[in-house]
Amino acid sequence: MDDEVRLSNLEIINNYYVFIFQGITSLLANGVYSAAYPLHDGDYEGENVEPNDRKLLCEEWASYGVFYKYQPIDLVRKYFGEKIGLYFAWLGVYTQMLIPASIVGIIVFLYGCATVDENIPSMEMCDQRNNITMCPLCDKTCSYWKMSSACATARASHLFDNPATVFFSVFMALWAATFMEHWKRKQMRLNYRWDLTGFEEEEDHPRAEYEAKVLEKSLRKEHKHKETDKEKLTWKDRFPAYLTNFVGIIFMVGLTFAIVFGVIIYRISTAAALAISSTPSGRSSVRVTVTATAVIINLVVIIILDEVYGCIARWLTQIEVPKTDKNFEERLIFKAFLLKFVNAYTPIFYVAFFKGRFVGRPGDYVYIFHSFRMEECAPGGCLMELCIQLSIIMLGKQLIQNNLFEIGIPKMKKFIRYLKLKRRRSLDHEEHMKKKQRYEVDYNLEPFAGLTPEYMEMIIQFGFVTLFVASFPLAPLFALLNNIIEIRLDAKKFVTELRRPVAVRAKDIGKWILLLYPCLFIPGLMAGYCYAFVISFTSDFIPRLVYLYMYSENGTMHGFVNHTLSSFNVSDFQAGTAPNDPLDLGYEVQICRYKDYREPPWSENKYDISKDFWAVLAARLAFVIVFQNLVMFMSEFVDWIIPDIPKDISQQIHKEKVLMVEVFMREEQGKLQMLETWKDKDKRKGENCNNHSPRLSRSRSGSLSSCHSYPLDV
Amino acid sequence: MDDEVRLSNLEIINNYYVFIFQGITSLLANGVYSAAYPLHDGDYEGENVEPNDRKLLCEEWASYGVFYKYQPIDLVRKYFGEKIGLYFAWLGVYTQMLIPASIVGIIVFLYGCATVDENIPSMEMCDQRNNITMCPLCDKTCSYWKMSSACATARASHLFDNPATVFFSVFMALWAATFMEHWKRKQMRLNYRWDLTGFEEEEDHPRAEYEAKVLEKSLRKEHKHKETDKEKLTWKDRFPAYLTNFVGIIFMVGLTFAIVFGVIIYRISTAAALAISSTPSGRSSVRVTVTATAVIINLVVIIILDEVYGCIARWLTQIEVPKTDKNFEERLIFKAFLLKFVNAYTPIFYVAFFKGRFVGRPGDYVYIFHSFRMEECAPGGCLMELCIQLSIIMLGKQLIQNNLFEIGIPKMKKFIRYLKLKRRRSLDHEEHMKKKQRYEVDYNLEPFAGLTPEYMEMIIQFGFVTLFVASFPLAPLFALLNNIIEIRLDAKKFVTELRRPVAVRAKDIGKWILLLYPCLFIPGLMAGYCYAFVISFTSDFIPRLVYLYMYSENGTMHGFVNHTLSSFNVSDFQAGTAPNDPLDLGYEVQICRYKDYREPPWSENKYDISKDFWAVLAARLAFVIVFQNLVMFMSEFVDWIIPDIPKDISQQIHKEKVLMVEVFMREEQGKLQMLETWKDKDKRKGENCNNHSPRLSRSRSGSLSSCHSYPLDV
């Protein structure tokens, strides 16, 4: 009698929910309804507002006044669901972890400031007596210049290029590893507190677009073959979409590269143009002007392309027709991340690893398009420029995106909606009279668009903080300041500006952790590499060490600047490239110097790459190997030494498991015993029953008579 | 009435088993019984033996005749338990995976053989016309020698040092990654088939030794403080043992290093001594003789120390008094692995990475103890010597350990036991008459000593196969041949020579997989490094590439040998180090050559390290970075692309889970419904009952009367 398959209560509820949800989705898609959303708890401001969760959140969370307090994560979870709760918890942990990083960063920066006057190389560069004549920075129009004129740059670059930077890189690698472990533990703790430990994500239902496409395909096919199998989209159906995706992404990456390349050309040509027109005194500020304007162009392009790429990524994902919502999100994240990463980091990677490396040498420069000479780094090393680039892009991006896109545009949208409403209101006065319903008030809010942009912003910022921290020790501080605002800004947005999102359960932050990994954990992939290469190739750390241990005569850095400069005989200039105005400095120049390791003009193989070059290169590569592996091992070590599950939680879970088994056993035993007793009683009473009405009990014995049934023998 | 905590059946059985098992352990420890073991199924040979599992295993598994067949793993598991089953399954997978590696290895070796006559560097070295005079290999007694006399070595080293080796290294890195993934999948499949998917290992019970020590401690303490808390051993109690361990391990590692160092001294001094006494014609064979004898000494030392270290590791673990058996095993494995690894690999690491690197240069050699000149590598590169070293140690170790320790010694022990038995048998004739019981027969077998030595042997072999495969492409072949024998040998041992082991459940091969990992998977730790460093530093691959692209005039390798040799003016020899017999070659030598990148005698900084040296070093380091990361990425990629759980198994598990939930739900619902019906019936009958005997039912309502009880409301 129990053989028919029944749906359990749980299943019924579940299916019912899915039915409703799916139904609403298609009604929304067909435009029957214009929106569907859960209602907010009530108003968050006003005089006669009853206390509610929204008001509480607004006061205790979404306010800049409480920036120093922990977030009320449990209340956030209660109000918005686990997924959004986890986002804010993650943001909180990240911000909290930025505090020690900022402190160490400030100390490193202060160390740089304090030792700037003791730094022998920059002292030598600033020393007027050394009187080093440098080769011109551009053909014809530029003249020779004195090393001491780059004194300010040299001193400034010491702030970021000193031994403490190496220590700070190691520290930040460890910090990143610790952060990941700390977050895993926090997540486990939250999972336990929010009762998600046993929760497994269910399989998603296909998206409406996918179903439509499948239907269309099966109709088309039926038309031809009359096959009515369950259809699904194959690789063949998706090929055009994949091709579009591939081409689109390649095109956009190419576009980014082209823009960066364009900015380089801009920089080269403007520098040359400015050098002609400016007065000699203003010539020293040329470099700064050009660098700054170029970075600002870069920044504006990055911010615009960021938005454009976001839309394109969404469109590309839509034409792919992914099967489920989860699939959709994953693909979108991948594409958006790829594009935005390339967009934000290309100019920085260029400055860090390529700028000034393919310059050639005086008399044999490398030209682009046969007319633009490749740009060189400032005499203090490219690290200074990397630092400017990084700080402007990072700060500018944060400020503009936060202010414009997260405050300005929503405010504007709200204002437009308000205007529209006002116009309508003036049309029908009656509606204005009665108090508006909750759903009407909420309808005026922005719909919730998913957490993807929020996470994306943070991941890109995380990249700035971890990847290039070697060149900019204040990055964690700026990130910290930004995030303190960001948390409250996002909170405000969620509480006051957005319709209440549908609560979604989630056990972890999903794919995002995977995007944090490549920045950190495929060991050595990004952080290890970046630190190692920035320190060894962009900074002057290794050449200095090599000089100190191989060449220095008295064990000090005296003579280092001279050692890094090669000599060039001005008579070897190619025709038409020598400066037009060689007597600019007031004396005739015969030998000018340039930054490279090459043989002097009086050597047998003049201007060939010298032995020093290879020695320094070997030292740099050796440093990369040692450093990369050191970072990798330490990260692995941190990963290994900090357990993923906090001990108290794992003990608690174990205890509960044991307890549950015990309770279950006892209950089962209780049931059995009860039924046993019953059976006994029943038998005994059966005799009574028999006495009482023997015919009845016999006839019913097949269908569970109370006298002769052994219910647990099913 | 059900509130008392009762032990479930399962718990009772479990505790009972533990009780018996613990009891037997202590009885055994006290010497009441001399052994406790499960009985074998019956005899495995003889005429009138009934068919049994043991006989079947002996015929279908433990026989060399079936070496080409898959092992009957399920039967092995049935007979010996999961733990041993997994060992043989692992061995089988490993052996199977060695087949493709062997094939590719043979192809690479054959490629080397085929191209040996086209190899320009070795042709140049063999060319009598080049007439290159080399500097003497030892002070005074050795004379100058002609490059062409090392022709054979140069040709042989091409077999192992050719571009195919680089390809093979990459292949083996991928192979190792694939092997690990393949094993994980196989293990998952076995777990599913053997119903271990839900199985969690239970907490172990403390070992008898630990309990004794704790008791002792608490007694001592009670004596002083009268505290009777549950005692446990603290760090303080264990400090002496830890110290002993630490000192012991350091000492033994030092001993290994000292022995290797001793062998080096032996090699240097013998080479010099032989060079004096031998005739000029025999002088060329000196190197081979010395190398071979030295390697054999190394081999013997390794094999002896292997056994000694095994015992010491066990002793060191015993004095540590680990808490549980699992703890004990883990610590033992760690120590034994460390010692045996250092023991087996130190001489190989020395040849691969240190030999010939600290030689100095003619006129300024490096001396050990002021009298022994550091040894150089053969002119064809150290790779040849590494290959000899590796093949002798690997083959010798396998042959001797297999034959002597796994066949010889057990046979001898059996024979001794047989002799003893015979003597006793001659004393009491009566016993001889009756047919012996199973337990008596089995008592004569060796006790089972755990799988540790078996795994250890395989892990060390795995290291030989993966770590230095770049220098010896036939290693997988030798390992394959060894393992084909090893499987059947081990099987024979388990079936015929050992008492039947107590079956132990295990889900995986435990710590051993962790020992495979460091050989492979802490990416780049061992395999990545070893390949990268062997190829770039031990082989001549990189210098050849550098020559080809930087120096070669016509794009061929002609002139490479000349390029790698530096010149030395014999008048610059230090007093007393010039050869006694300089006219040995028949003409006067003014310039001799040696293998290094140094400035020639006519240069300004004569004998200084030259630019070429730094260029080659930079290329080598760059290769290490590229190669190591390539290997790492490919391993990660293989790891990522092959899912750990085979798809059919994961689907099956999912299906079963769904089914189980369904069945459970249905059953629970059935029970509920039944009780519901019952309640109804009961009520209706209750009216009858009331009529029948109202007093009784009322008085019993508290204690489960059959009329008014609602049993599931507990």
Q: pLDDT above 70 covers what percent of chain B?
A: 81
Average pLDDT along chain B? 77
Task: Give the closest-approach CA distance of B28 to chain A in angstroms.
Answer: 33
What confidence tier does B694 reach under pLDDT thresholds 50, 70, 90? very low
Average pLDDT of A147-156?
Answer: 79
Task: Give the closest-approach CA distance of A294 to chain B in angstroms.
Answer: 33
Which residues of chain A make contact with B523, given a CB cutoff of 8 A? 523, 632
B326-352 pLDDT, tens digit each: 788 878 888 888 888 888 888 888 888
Lowest mean pLDDT among A119-128, B115-124, B206-215, B701-710: B701-710
pTM: 0.80
Task: Give the closest-approach CA distance of B420 to chain A in angstroms.
Answer: 53
SS3 B393: helix
* Nearest residue of chain B to residue A526 (CA atoms): B629
Task: Give the closest-approach CA distance of A201 to chain B in angstroms.
Answer: 13
Note whether B714 contacts A674, CB cutoff 8 Å: yes
- In this prediction the ipTM stands at 0.78
Which residues of chain B make contact with A688, given a CB cutoff of 8 A? 692-693
What confidence tier does B520 reach under pLDDT thresholds 50, 70, 90? very low
In three state form, how does the secondary structure of A556-621 look?
CCCCHHHHHEEEEEHHHCCCCCCCCCHHHHCCCCCEEEEECCECCCCCCCCCCECHHHHHHHHHHH
Which residues of chain A make contact with B709, given a CB cutoff of 8 A? 674, 678
**E runs forming strands in A380-450:** none
Note whether A625 contacts B622, CB cutoff 8 Å: no
Which residues of chain B make contact with A665, given a CB cutoff of 8 A? 8
B8, B610, B692 ranked by CB distance to A688: nearest: B692
Task: Give the closest-approach CA distance of B356 to chain A in angstroms.
Answer: 20
Which residues of chain A make contact with B638, given a CB cutoff of 8 A? none
Which residues of chain B make contact with A687, given a CB cutoff of 8 A? none
B19-39 pLDDT, tens digit each: 555 667 777 777 778 777 888
A293-306 pLDDT, tens digit each: 888 888 888 888 88
Task: Give the closest-approach CA distance of A423 to chain B in angstroms.
Answer: 57
Q: How far is CA B287 from CA A591, A671, B116, B149, B158, in A?
A: 56, 85, 22, 12, 18
Note whether A8 contacts B689, CB cutoff 8 Å: no
A531-584 pLDDT, tens digit each: 788 888 888 888 888 888 888 888 788 888 888 888 888 888 887 777 777 666
B2, B6, B617 ranked by CB distance to A618: nearest: B617
Note whether B624 contacts A629, CB cutoff 8 Å: no
Which residue is it, tokens 């926090």?
A: A186
* Nearest residue of chain B to residue A683 (CA atoms): B706
Handedness of CA A710, A712, B2, B8 (dihedral sign): positive
A625, A693, A711 ranked by CB distance to B675: nearest: A711
Which residue is it, tokens 């210049």?
A: A145
Which residues of chain A make contact with B617, given a CB cutoff of 8 A? 614, 618
User: Best residue in B610, B632, B651, B706 to probe A by mutation, most A CBs within 10 Å?
Assistant: B706
What confidence tier does B584 reach under pLDDT thresholds 50, 70, 90? low
Q: How far, in Å, CA of A218 to CA of A220, rounded?
A: 5
Note whether B674 contacts A625, CB cutoff 8 Å: no
* Higher-pLDDT residue of B671, A12: B671
Which residues of chain A make contact with B706, given a CB cutoff of 8 A? 678, 681-682, 685
Which residues 6+ apart lie within 8 Å of B605 measured at CB? B599
Q: How far, in Å, CA of A87 to CA of A73, rounded?
A: 10
* Higher-pLDDT residue of A146, B524: A146
Which residues of chain B make contact with A685, given a CB cutoff of 8 A? 689, 706
Burial classification of residue B546, based on how many CB atoms lie within 10 Å of its CB (0-12 exposed, 13-18 middle, 19 or more buried): buried
Note whether B662 contacts A704, CB cutoff 8 Å: no
Q: Quick one: pLDDT at residue B83?
A: 84
B621, B666, B685 ranked by CB distance to A618: nearest: B621
Which residues of chain A make contact with B676, given a CB cutoff of 8 A? none
Whether pLDDT at B704 is above 50: no
B636, B706, B714 ranked by CB distance to A685: nearest: B706
Which residues of chain A make contact with B8, given a CB cutoff of 8 A? 665, 669
Note whether A675 contacts B711, CB cutoff 8 Å: yes
Which residues of chain A make contact with B705, given a CB cutoff of 8 A? 681
Whether pLDDT at B662 is above 70: yes
Note whether A5 contacts B666, CB cutoff 8 Å: yes
Note whether A614 contacts B610, CB cutoff 8 Å: no
B359-375 pLDDT, tens digit each: 888 878 888 777 777 77
Task: Give the closest-approach CA distance of A683 to chain B in angstroms.
Answer: 10
Q: How far, in Å, CA of B324 to CA of B312, rounded?
A: 20
Note whether A704 contacts B678, CB cutoff 8 Å: yes
Whether pLDDT at A1 is above 60: no
Which residues of chain B make contact with A704, given a CB cutoff of 8 A? 674, 677-678, 681
User: C-alpha angle A663/A667/A668, rounded to 5°?
Assistant: 120
A625, A674, A677 ranked by CB distance to B621: nearest: A625
Whether pLDDT at B573 is above 80: yes
A480-527 pLDDT, tens digit each: 988 888 888 888 888 888 888 877 777 666 656 655 554 444 434 566
Q: Quick one: pLDDT at residue A45?
A: 73
Lowest mean pLDDT among A608-622, B308-322, B364-378: B364-378
Average pLDDT along chain A? 77
Which residue is it, tokens 């070893």?
A: B530
How is the beta sheet containing A565-569 ordered, strand by strand? Answer: A145-146, A133-134, A591-595, A565-569
Note whether B706 contacts A682, CB cutoff 8 Å: yes
Note whether A6 contacts B669, CB cutoff 8 Å: yes
B614, B671, B692 ranked by CB distance to A711: nearest: B671
What confidence tier does B521 reach under pLDDT thresholds 50, 70, 90? very low
Lowest mean pLDDT among A144-153, A168-177, A209-218, B5-14: B5-14
Note whether A709 contacts B665, CB cutoff 8 Å: no
**E runs forming strands in A246-379:** 360-361, 364-365, 367-368, 372-373
Q: Quick one: pLDDT at residue A258?
A: 93
Note whether B614 contacts A614, CB cutoff 8 Å: yes
* Higher-pLDDT residue of B92, A581: B92
Whether pLDDT at B102 is above 90: yes
Whether pLDDT at B376 is above 50: yes
Do residues A482 and A396 lie in contact, with contact meaning Cβ atoms separated by under 8 Å? no
Q: How far, in Å, CA of A453 to CA of A83, rounded?
A: 14
Amino acid identity at B475: A
Q: How far, in Å, CA of A265 to CA of A375, rounded?
A: 9
Q: Quick one: pLDDT at residue B104?
A: 94
What confidence tier does B234 reach under pLDDT thresholds 50, 70, 90? confident
Note whether B688 contacts A685, CB cutoff 8 Å: no
Whether pLDDT at A701 is above 50: no
Task: Give the closest-approach CA distance of B535 to chain A in angstroms.
Answer: 16
Q: Quick one: pLDDT at residue A714?
A: 32
Which residues of chain B make contact with A611, given a CB cutoff of 8 A? 610-611, 614
Note whether B622 contacts A621, CB cutoff 8 Å: yes
Burial classification of residue A278, based on how many CB atoms lie within 10 Å of its CB (0-12 exposed, 13-18 middle, 19 or more buried): middle
